[in-house]
Structure 1
Amino acid sequence: MEREPDGDPSSAAMEDSMEAEENLEEDSVVEMTEQTVAGENASVDLGGAALKEKKPSSSSEDDDSDSDSDSDDEEADELRVSALERSLAENPYNYEAHVQCIHHLRKLGHIEKLRKARESMNEHFPLTPKMWQDWTKDECSLSSSSEDFTNVEKLYERGVYEYLSVPLWCDYLDFVQEHDQSVSQCSPTGISKMRNLFERAITAAGLHVVEGNGIWEAYREFEQAIFLTIAEDNNEEKAKQVNRIRSLFHRQLSVPLVDLKSTLMAYKLWEVEQGNAKDIDSADMDGIPSNVVSSYQKAMEMFKARTIYEDPLLNKEATDNDKLQHFMNYIKFEESSGDPARVQILFERAVSELPVSSDLWVAYTSYLDRTLKVPNVLKNVYSRATKNCSWVGDLWFRYMLSLERICASEEELSAVFEKSLQCSFPSFKEYMELFLTRVDGLRRRVSVVGTNDGFQGHTLIRDVFQRAVDYLSPDMVSINDLLNLHAYWARLEAKLGNDLVAARGVWESLIKKSGSLLEVWQAYIAMEIEMGHIIEARSIYKRCYSKRFPGTGSEDICYSWLRFEREYGNLDDYDLAVKKVTPRLQELIMFKNQQEHKNSIMSAQKDSTKDVSHKRIMTNTASDKQSPAKKQKHSSPKSVKTSYKDSIKQSDGVRGLGENDEVPSLPEVPESHAIDEKAAGSSNSNKTKSKFYKDQCTAFISNIGFQANEGHLGEFFADCGGVTAIRILKDKFTGKSRGLAYVDFSDEEHLKAAVAKNRQKLLGQKLSIARSDPARGNKRTTSGKGPGQPDQGQSSNIYRRGTTSSSGADVLKSYETNIKPKGSNTFAAPRAVVRPLGWTDGKAKPKESLEPPKSNEQFRDMLLKK
């Protein structure tokens, strides 16, 4: 079983490991017993875990076989230890590997390695009471000097610190009585030391309902032994000792413990020996003070009330969840009685049996925080709680808060904080809370002590914030947590550190990482407004109002700027905001409408493809009967292009195009417009279905760099304002820019401002900007020329206005602007225009061939002749 800090190991798994370790120890004891019975002169090494026998030599073959088997076992254990050590080097949080390694080392008798293995395990996990007993017994068997005694005593102190264990306390008391010379010689110093140790044991385990009697009886036996060492003539000292023993009896009889009636009988017997009671079997309790009798009766009532809670805990087959529920019910009952000491010892019993139950530790520490605010007790319990359940962030948060309440030193707080960061928590929210809890404590301390005693709180706060930002990326925590962290940091930099530049630097660093989030900009602006920096807030609005944010963020920031200027700015500021925001909002609305239209078309297409097989059958049937005109209509794009080229080449109106000359390409059809034509399904297929642009307020731009896009043009005309649409003309086949574009403006004022930027550079190239005039060609149509002789303006305008894309329009517009054809020649004849009757081959008729007009008389003569 691996007990790793990145998960919540169940107490059942923990108990399984403990039982496995105990079973291994039992096996070693059984092996020791068998070897002791089988042989003679057996030597016990390390508490009987490894035995080396000296058997009577019955035959040389038996001796050889025994030695071979022993050597094989040792080699196998050595190999297991080596493998376990390698495993622990890679993963020191493998609980089961620690247990197995200690077991095999104890069996082999490697003292130094065994000590290191136990210390290594105790660095990462608390040891069970059974493991502490084994360790202390092994060290006790090897101790021979006063220094060894001190080391074993320290081991016992560490053991009783981690878990409540009455057997471990009894072993500790027996060890001190046997090996401490000052105690064994009954010196005043030794007696005082032993009494203090017994009082500690009574405080720790004396209220244990089931096992507490062992501590009380050991204490009484010690005091009675001291009584026997007092000289017979020293009546005063004997009287004091008698009162001390009587006081122990009275204290024990007032505690609800198992077998309390036997304690009462022992007390009556002792009082009879002292001559204060008549008979041990008397029912009237003669010689026993009334207060003792009432305390005893109350204790018996308390014991009976607790038996209903104690009995389920004695069930060895109960699951850990059942035990936890029984303990919580028991604790709730003890809390109602109002005795904090009894509640605390019940918690200690519970965590001893369920050491990895995080709910139990949380309840225990919470109770101590609100009831027993004793510094040493709080430190003890929180230290053990975080060691048993290191993956529970709530324990670490309240651990630091508890240390702050008891005015712990900065070194203690820093040590706990650094240790908490080494743990693995289930989510990054726990790490965020750790950093914030640490900052809270430093801020409060700075507000109290300032920078006295060399405490540089502001520097520590900045360091903690920086570590938090480096540790927690925007992908790990929610945007709200990230904003709260930076807002807290910036506020402390401005208010606590009086460093406004550093406060703004906090937000600027976040913008570099998460500048696409509207909430970041809003929080930055809110800080400036809160501090009264209106100009700085306005500059931030100018930086971000044109940015693209998810959802409705782009519209929200525009409206937020207007609201800001309405509340804080003057009229000029408000007008400037309106001028900047209005075209941006128009762009956003137009883009939204386009998206909605495209979505509706796509949904319509999906609905139309539900019965595809039926439509295909109908199409194939109709194709056999359709007229040649129909076939021509539904011909492929390739055939359309071919006919278009042929018509252009056959036209006498196109000059300079040979057989292999390139014909101007067809204008592109935007996807949205093509979908409109397809969805319309109009029967009048010969008529143009493309979208016509009126170009009322449109600028035509040429000589644009091929790398320029709509964004570059938008920025170029940003100072003019009023941009509603930008159309860059692209090649039909390659999709690359032709260097031409149309830019639509909302009114004449903005258009004039745009035309005024003629010959200014964009990406290193001077732009040619002119007003687009679609009415020019229409006027020339009625200028007096016949229908068979369209002029240049008419043909180019028909070409440009009759397409669904602006690419062809751009080409012709450039020719209109830069090329001035002479005579009746035109640039190109659009395919949509059919040559009218009477259209000549383009050669002007000589004037002399024209007859003069006839008079009325001449017409009359012609009719009379006929």
Structure 2
Amino acid sequence: MEQRSVKSDGDDIKFETSRDEEAVAAGGARSLDGGSSPSSSDSESDEEAAEELQIETLAKQLEERPLHYELHVKHIQCLRKVGDIEKLRQAREYMNKYFPLSPKMWQEWTKDEVSLSAKSENFEEIEKLYERGVHEYLFVPLWCDYLGFVQEHDPLVSECAPAGVSKMRTLFERAITASGLHFSEGSKVWEAYREFEQAVFLTIDQSDNEEKVKQAQRIQALFHRQLSVPLINIKCTLTDYNLWEAEQGKVNFEFEGVPSNIVSAYQKALEMCNARASYEEQLSNLDVYDIDRLQHFMNYIKLEESCCDPARVQVLYERAVTDFPVSTDLWLAYTSYVDRTLKVSNIVKDVYSRATRNCTWIGELWVNYMLALERMSASEKEQSTVFERAIQSSFPNFKEYFNLFLSRIDGLRRRISSTVTVEDGLDYSLIREIFQRAVDYFPPHVISIDDLLHFYAYWAHLETTLGKDLVAARGVWESFIKKSGSLLEVWQGYIAMEVRMGHIIEARSIYKRGYSRRFQGVGSEAICYSWLRFERQYGTLDDLDHAVKKVTPRLQELMAYKRQQDSKGSSLSTQKHNSVSEDSSQKRKSNKSLVSKLPPSKKRKVAPTKSNSVKGTIKDEESLQGTGEHKTNVNEAEDSKSNKTKPSYADKCTAFLSNLSLEANENHIRGFFTDSGGVTSIRLLRERFSGKPRGLAYVDFSDEKHLAAAIAKNKQKLLGKKLSISRSDPTQGRNKSFSDSTARSDPTQGQKKSFSDSINSRGRGKGELIRRDQQGPGEGSTAPMAREENLPARSNTFATPRSVVAKPLGWSTREARVDEPAEKLNSNDEFRQLLLKK
């Protein structure tokens, strides 16, 4: 039994092969050292058992999740390590069914198959394998392996038979077309081509001078072609050319004796090399981030596009998608370029096919693919196949699927209604089938109402124009009314179709059915007025009178209902206002009772002439203290009341959504999170007075796992707008806003002082307050209060307590205030003397 080693990424993967074909097909058995100890045998068997278990586990996971790319890669690596070649083949084929294999994986696969086969065995199968590999990506090393394999294992080629030589030249020309313009690696293919032709030159008999001259001219032409292509080692190619000419007995100093067109082509290629050297240097730097490297590719592509050489642009795109196979922007740019610029059917189809295999989740690629096929007049079978593949893909939202269905319908409509001969089997029944599939495919809440109206109106229009079936068109609108009959726009669309076709009686019957229905918003009133306008334009006087007779009581009913709702709203606001007033009056009464319990001297300092002054006094004292710890009693009452009525949300497992479409409702959001699951409730935020949506929402989830899956959908589109999804954490704002007040408050006394504490603090002589003269005549509100030191000269001190004495003009605010003891008056004479003194 033989052992052959295949290297892959630095690891030696050993396959055991025997000359027996059955042993090869079975994958071979792991070689065991006959002289090994029993302990080593046991450890190897345990390792094999663990590997087998891992392979079985991965195989089961792939059955459940066939679109998981990493599982496929890991499964192939494990099978390669074990050396089970048959299962390895199956695993690779299974992965390639869903995904294109990377160039390295193709190289590993082909090398494994070559190492396991004799020279002439399975040659055609391996050749097909190479063809598949070079088709998916531009990878010069794989092309070189392919060329070397054919030269070595094809007997016609190795013997330089005319058929083999012709076959090899055709293969080399394909390789030159695919990779000969690759700036950094394309010279490898050119050199291999020249070496092959030189080997053929050596096999020609010396006596056959004519054939030798012909072969020498072929080699010379290859040199000339290569010298006109800007490649990284173009000067080395010139040196090789001079050496070859010298071997042929010609002394050639640079381009002596070379045609002028070849010289100018070389000079131009050399200039192009110098212009592209900086771009190639940027791409060769592997230490940069992928996003920067991708940007270098895009800048390089812009340079090539400005030179107007489509072949070079295409090769550069191929290099880019090989390095970035799942870059959606790159594939969109590449497909657009070949579709609009190259316009070669085979190339366009090939690029779109590979783009949709690499980025299956981009609906725009599939739509463009179907449009490109239509431009190329592809058959219905081919277009239908692409559409069915697209529907099976996984898109981020239902809007992508909706656009696919519409694109398919548009294409069928254009081909059926064209004047060109219609393809056999292509009729309107296909369009009706696609419409019906779309209706069955989409839940009603995942598509916006505007899109649905367009969809059903389009369907009904095609039923009348292409299908020539008015009954079917009416059936379309009737089915839409059953699903969304509360929307006025649905009825208006139905009526508009009948009016457009001149069916006035049918349109009037729809108005008669719909005017008494309850519509969303002001739709109930709108359809009544719409009926009246319709009868003015199309009906007789009797028709108008009949409409007025029907509509008038309906409008009166709607107006009465509106007045009832308005009265309910006003009564609720009045009750709320009265409750606040009652609470305020109760607080004032309680404050008055507290003041009555104070000593007489303190009563005089705090008791104002108006009840509202108590509230203003307390409020101003809090503003002077500046701690933010105290609130007015009225505000406390309002806060406590609002806390009772307003629901509180813990937001322990909640996502916050912003940039929502204003048309989005709970059904749209629930449908958006269908794949992540776990939605328990949805709270859409609206304007306080108008009730209009604000584009914000909170979504509660059952657990952290579903919340994480929902946050992972950040920046995905819903109804055409990219959502911003983040975790809701209200504790941050709450802790930040109350941290200072909580730190200063006394945990045993609470966060607010009582009213009596405020009164006692003012009794110490430094916190006495008076009213400013800021209250206009007739105003009932309490004016703001200020310290006595800051009182303006023209302040109104009417009804101020007698213990509060205003400062005269010129009294500095820095002077300390001395409280004189109140004089005790024992008789009327003493009081009279006091007045005279004043």
Common fold by TM > 0.5: yes
State yes or no: 1:164 paired with 2:126.
Answer: no
Taking a change above 3 Å as real, the CA distance of residues 610 and 418 of structure 1, as seen in their structure-2 partners, is same
For residue 494 of structure 2, the aligned residue among 511, 520, 524 is 524
Taking a change above 3 Å as real, the CA distance of residues 24 and 589 of structure 1, as seen in their structure-2 partners, is farther
For residue 229 of structure 2, the aligned residue among 255, 264, 273 is 255
Taking the TM superposition and a 5 Å limit, the aligned residue runs for 1:100-249 are 100-144=74-118, 148-249=122-223
Counterpart contact for 2:119–2:153, Cα < 8 Å = no
State yes or no: 1:28 paired with 2:11.
Answer: yes
Aligned-partner residue type, residue 542 of structure 2: D
Aligned-partner residue type, residue 514 of structure 1: S
Aligned-partner residue type, residue 369 of structure 2: Y
- 1:316 alignment partner, SS class: coil
Aligned-partner residue type, residue 262 of structure 1: C
Counterpart contact for 1:160–1:168, Cα < 8 Å = yes
Distance of 2:421 and 2:229 partners within structure 1: 52
Taking a change above 3 Å as real, the CA distance of residues 518 and 451 of structure 1, as seen in their structure-2 partners, is farther
Taking a change above 3 Å as real, the CA distance of residues 147 and 396 of structure 1, as seen in their structure-2 partners, is farther
Taking a change above 3 Å as real, the CA distance of residues 54 and 147 of structure 1, as seen in their structure-2 partners, is closer
Taking a change above 3 Å as real, the CA distance of residues 106 and 454 of structure 1, as seen in their structure-2 partners, is same
Moved more, 566-575 or 330-339: 566-575
**Residues 214-255 of structure 1: CA deviation (Å, up to 9, x unaligned):** 010011111111111112122222222112111111111111
For residue 377 of structure 1, the aligned residue among 340, 347, 354 is 347
| 1:469 matched residue in structure 2 | 439
Distance of 2:285 and 2:385 partners within structure 1: 41
For residue 359 of structure 1, the aligned residue among 320, 324, 329 is 329
For residue 468 of structure 2, the aligned residue among 481, 488, 498 is 498
Counterpart contact for 2:415–2:422, Cα < 8 Å = no
For residue 551 of structure 1, the aligned residue among 518, 521, 526 is 521
| 2:403 matched residue in structure 1 | 433
User: 1:546 offset after TM fit, Å?
Assistant: 1.3
| 2:562 matched residue in structure 1 | 592
Distance of 1:217 and 1:451 partners within structure 2: 52
**Residues 531-551 of structure 1: CA deviation (Å, up to 9, x unaligned):** 111111111111111111111
Distance of 1:420 and 1:260 partners within structure 2: 45
Taking the TM superposition and a 5 Å limit, the aligned residue runs for 1:594-633 are 594-610=564-580, 613-616=583-586
| 2:762 matched residue in structure 1 | none
Counterpart contact for 2:181–2:231, Cα < 8 Å = yes
**Residues 500-545 of structure 1: CA deviation (Å, up to 9, x unaligned):** 0001001101111111111111111111111111111111111111
Counterpart contact for 1:562–1:578, Cα < 8 Å = yes
Counterpart contact for 1:50–1:108, Cα < 8 Å = no
Taking the TM superposition and a 5 Å limit, the aligned residue runs for 1:799-818 are none
Distance of 2:95 and 2:135 partners within structure 1: 16
User: 1:54 offset after TM fit, Å?
Assistant: 7.4
Aligned-partner residue type, residue 485 of structure 2: G
Taking a change above 3 Å as real, the CA distance of residues 451 and 549 of structure 1, as seen in their structure-2 partners, is farther
Taking a change above 3 Å as real, the CA distance of residues 618 and 496 of structure 1, as seen in their structure-2 partners, is same
Aligned length: 581
Distance of 1:277 and 1:73 partners within structure 2: 67
User: 1:606 offset after TM fit, Å?
Assistant: 2.4
Aligned-partner residue type, residue 434 of structure 1: L
Taking the TM superposition and a 5 Å limit, the aligned residue runs for 1:38-49 are none
Moved more, 81-90 or 65-74: 65-74
Cα RMSD (Å): 2.6
TM-score, structure 1 normalization: 0.64
Aligned-partner residue type, residue 552 of structure 2: T
Distance of 2:477 and 2:197 partners within structure 1: 71
| 1:393 matched residue in structure 2 | 363
State yes or no: 1:563 paired with 2:537.
Answer: no
Counterpart contact for 1:32–1:50, Cα < 8 Å = no
Distance of 2:521 and 2:233 partners within structure 1: 74
Taking a change above 3 Å as real, the CA distance of residues 222 and 582 of structure 1, as seen in their structure-2 partners, is same
User: 1:622 offset after TM fit, Å?
Assistant: 13
Counterpart contact for 1:81–1:104, Cα < 8 Å = yes
- 1:276 alignment partner, SS class: coil
User: 1:27 offset after TM fit, Å?
Assistant: 5.5
**Residues 526-581 of structure 1: CA deviation (Å, up to 9, x unaligned):** 11111111111111111111111111111111111111111111222122112211
| 2:704 matched residue in structure 1 | none
Aligned-partner residue type, residue 141 of structure 2: P
- 1:475 alignment partner, SS class: helix
For residue 309 of structure 2, the aligned residue among 331, 335, 339 is 339
Distance of 1:259 and 1:90 partners within structure 2: 51
| 1:482 matched residue in structure 2 | 452
User: 1:374 offset after TM fit, Å?
Assistant: 1.0
Aligned-partner residue type, residue 198 of structure 1: F
Distance of 2:255 and 2:351 partners within structure 1: 43
Taking a change above 3 Å as real, the CA distance of residues 26 and 341 of structure 1, as seen in their structure-2 partners, is closer
Distance of 2:406 and 2:431 partners within structure 1: 10
Distance of 2:7 and 2:40 partners within structure 1: 22
Taking a change above 3 Å as real, the CA distance of residues 514 and 267 of structure 1, as seen in their structure-2 partners, is same
| 1:783 matched residue in structure 2 | none
Distance of 2:14 and 2:76 partners within structure 1: 18
- 1:609 alignment partner, SS class: helix
Show structure 1 runs of 4+ deviating over 6 A: 618-623
Distance of 1:261 and 1:140 partners within structure 2: 36
Distance of 1:456 and 1:256 partners within structure 2: 50
For residue 418 of structure 1, the aligned residue among 379, 388, 392 is 388
Distance of 2:311 and 2:217 partners within structure 1: 25
State yes or no: 1:323 paired with 2:306.
Answer: no
Counterpart contact for 2:110–2:130, Cα < 8 Å = yes
Distance of 2:7 and 2:222 partners within structure 1: 40
- 2:444 alignment partner, SS class: coil
| 1:776 matched residue in structure 2 | none
Counterpart contact for 1:24–1:103, Cα < 8 Å = no
State yes or no: 1:575 paired with 2:545.
Answer: yes
Aligned-partner residue type, residue 418 of structure 1: E
| 1:409 matched residue in structure 2 | 379
User: 1:390 offset after TM fit, Å?
Assistant: 0.2
Aligned-partner residue type, residue 444 of structure 2: P
State yes or no: 1:507 paired with 2:481.
Answer: no
Aligned-partner residue type, residue 519 of structure 1: E
| 1:38 matched residue in structure 2 | none
Distance of 1:604 and 1:188 partners within structure 2: 105
Counterpart contact for 2:14–2:81, Cα < 8 Å = no
Distance of 2:377 and 2:510 partners within structure 1: 43
Counterpart contact for 1:494–1:500, Cα < 8 Å = yes
- 2:565 alignment partner, SS class: helix
Aligned-partner residue type, residue 363 of structure 1: A
| 1:854 matched residue in structure 2 | none
Counterpart contact for 1:105–1:114, Cα < 8 Å = yes
Aligned-partner residue type, residue 608 of structure 1: N
